[in-house]
């Protein structure tokens, strides 16, 4: 259990953007299927995730795919048909793990004594009926790119299943039980575990109460509070550091000016670093005039 003292589950109690209906959200349960559950110990045991687990805003069960093997050597991979390098994840352990877990209530996981030897019955031939409301997400470079819009969609689910691929890929027939595929971006990492952690983090910070301040993630870059812009520069004490003073407006006490300055900085930040986001951002006539004065020309 992450953050508790028994087993694999966290305690049950314990532009390109979309407005998230955060006020009405219920807790979210994550079932994560991986060959390397210990990879999750650090990232999921700190900071915002830790607090969300403690406040029962989320719960997490880590399921070791290998636990669902019955052969003597607990093999989860094999050589690819047709030759070629690398190893492919076998379909049976993954499908057995996912079908066994998702046909049981959120929070269920295989008891340590039952690993390998006392698995619930499962049919390799007949597909289990999985709950339609639970997305079964494969983390893969072939998936749709993860964006704040994708995160906003995931937050609407009460239970999410994340399958972490490894080796050179998974047997194609696993896709029979997959309802969504998500990629971190156009590059390859060694497995889906880091991608799963990123999804847990991005989804969790959207939940009311997960962040320690009232507006939560609303003012994050890419979030609705910023209309699809990047967040501008921020400052804290000291007022002078290495001969660089903070912008005087921030200590003017004039809230309207501070807000306008922040908006303009967000516009400049986006113009400098990700100008293509401006085409999808929600911009007021004042924003457009400001951008125009700074050399931005919208391209259709
Ligand atoms: N596994 C390997 N590469 C990946 C990526 N880019 N996104 C998600 N999972 C992956």
Active site residue 141: yes
Give me the chain's average pLDDT, please.
91
Query: Do 117 and 239 have their domain in common?
Result: no
Six-digit token pair at 296?
């931005």
Query: Do 236 and 93 have their domain in common?
Result: no
CA gap 15, 11 in Å, rounded: 36
CATH number assigned to the domain comprising residue 262 = 1.10.1270.20
Does the beta carbon of 184 sit less than 6 angstroms from any atom of ligand 1? yes
Instruction: Assess whether pLDDT exceeds 80 at residue 283.
Output: yes
Query: Do 129 and 41 have their domain in common?
Result: yes
The 3-state secondary structure of the chain reads: CCCCCCCCECCCCCCCCCCCCHHHCCCEEEEEEECCHHHHCCHHHCHHHHHHHHCCCEEEEEEEHHHHCCCCCCCCEECCCCCCCCCEECHHHHHHHHHHHHCCCCCCCCCHHHCCCCCCCCCCCCCCCCCCCCCEEEEEEEEEECCHHHHHHHCCCCEEEEEECCCCCECHHHHHHCCEEEECCCCCCCCCHHHHHHHHHHHHCCCCCCCCCCCHHHHCCCCHHHCCCCCCCCCCCCCEECCEECCHHHHCCCHHHHHHHHHHHHHHHHHHHCHHHHHCCCCCHHHHHHHHHCCCCCCC
Query: Do 267 and 119 have their domain in common?
Result: no
Share of the chain above pLDDT 90, in %: 83
Q: Is residue 8 part of a domain?
A: no
Residue of 164, 187, 188, 196 with the most ligand 1 atoms within 8 Å of its CB, for mutation: 188
> Could you report the per-residue pLDDT of 227-272, keeping only the tens digit for each?
999 999 999 999 999 999 999 999 999 999 999 999 999 999 999 9
Confidence of residue 19 (pLDDT cuts 50, 70, 90): very low
Q: Is residue 14 part of a domain?
A: no
Query: Do 178 and 234 have their domain in common?
Result: no
CA gap 48, 56 in Å, rounded: 12
Q: Which of 204, 236, 271 is the last residue of a domain?
A: 204
Non-local (6+) Cβ contacts of 214 within 8 A are none
Q: Which of 189, 73, 206 is nearest to 140 (CA)?
A: 189
Residue of 34, 170, 189, 193 with the most ligand 1 atoms within 8 Å of its CB, for mutation: 189
Ligand 1 atom closest to residue 185's alpha carbon, by position in its atom list: 6
Give pLDDT, residue 213.
74
Q: Domains in the chain: how many in total? A: 2
> Could you report the per-residue pLDDT of 41-58, keeping only the tens digit for each?
999 998 999 999 999 999
Query: Do 187 and 231 have their domain in common?
Result: no
Does the beta carbon of 164 sit less than 6 angstroms from any atom of ligand 1? no
CATH number assigned to the domain comprising residue 135 = 3.40.1280.10
Q: Is residue 69 part of a domain?
A: yes
Query: Do 83 and 133 have their domain in common?
Result: yes
Query: Do 133 and 246 have their domain in common?
Result: no
Q: Is residue 220 part of a domain?
A: no
Q: Is residue 80 part of a domain?
A: yes
Domain range spanning residue 280? 227-293
Q: Is residue 152 part of a domain?
A: yes
Query: Do 47 and 101 have their domain in common?
Result: yes
> Could you report the per-residue pLDDT of 80-94, keeping only the tens digit for each?
999 998 999 999 999
Active site residue 193: no
b/e map of 84-95 (b: 16 or more CB within 10 Å)? eeeebbbbbbbb
Instruction: Assess whether pLDDT exceeds 70 at residue 214.
Output: no
Q: Is residue 221 part of a domain?
A: no
Q: Is residue 300 part of a domain?
A: no
Instruction: Assess whether pLDDT exceeds 80 at residue 156.
Output: yes
Query: Do 38 and 111 have their domain in common?
Result: yes
Give pLDDT, residue 229.
97
Query: Do 250 and 149 have their domain in common?
Result: no
Query: Do 48 and 189 have their domain in common?
Result: yes
Active site residue 121: no
């Amino acid at each position: 259990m992450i953050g508790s003292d028994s087993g694999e589950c966290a305690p049950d109690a314990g532009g390109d953007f979309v407005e998230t209906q955060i006020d009405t959200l219920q807790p979210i349960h994550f079932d994560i299927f991986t060959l390397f559950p210990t990879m999750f110990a650090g990232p999921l045991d700190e900071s915002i995730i830790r607090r969300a687990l403690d406040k029962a805003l989320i719960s997490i069960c880590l399921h070791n795919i290998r636990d669902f093997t019955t052969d003597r050597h607990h093999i989860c991979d094999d050589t690819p048909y047709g030759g070629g390098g690398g190893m492919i994840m076998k379909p049976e352990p993954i499908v057995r793990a996912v079908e066994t877990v998702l046909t049981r209530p959120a929070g269920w996981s295989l008891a340590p004594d039952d690993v390998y030897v006392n698995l619930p019955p499962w049919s390799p031939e007949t597909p289990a009926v999985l709950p339609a409301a639970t997305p079964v997400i494969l983390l893969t470079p072939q998936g749709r790119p993860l964006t704040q819009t994708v995160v906003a969609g995931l937050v609407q689910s009460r239970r999410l299943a994340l399958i972490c691929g490894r080796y050179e890929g998974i047997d194609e027939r696993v896709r029979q039980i997959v309802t969504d595929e998500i990629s971190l971006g156009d590059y390859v990492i060694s497995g889906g575990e880091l991608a799963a952690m990123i999804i847990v983090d991005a989804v969790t910070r959207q939940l009311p109460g997960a962040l320690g301040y009232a507006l939560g993630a609303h003012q994050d870059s890419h979030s609705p509070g910023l209309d699809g812009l990047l967040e501008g520069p921020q400052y804290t004490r000291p007022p002078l550091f290495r001969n660089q003073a903070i912008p005087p407006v921030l200590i003017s006490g004039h809230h309207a000016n501070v807000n306008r300055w922040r908006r303009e900085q967000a516009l400049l930040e986006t113009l400098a670093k990700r100008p293509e986001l401006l085409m999808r951002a929600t911009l007021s006539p004042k924003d457009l005039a400001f951008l125009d004065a700074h050399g931005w020309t919208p391209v259709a």
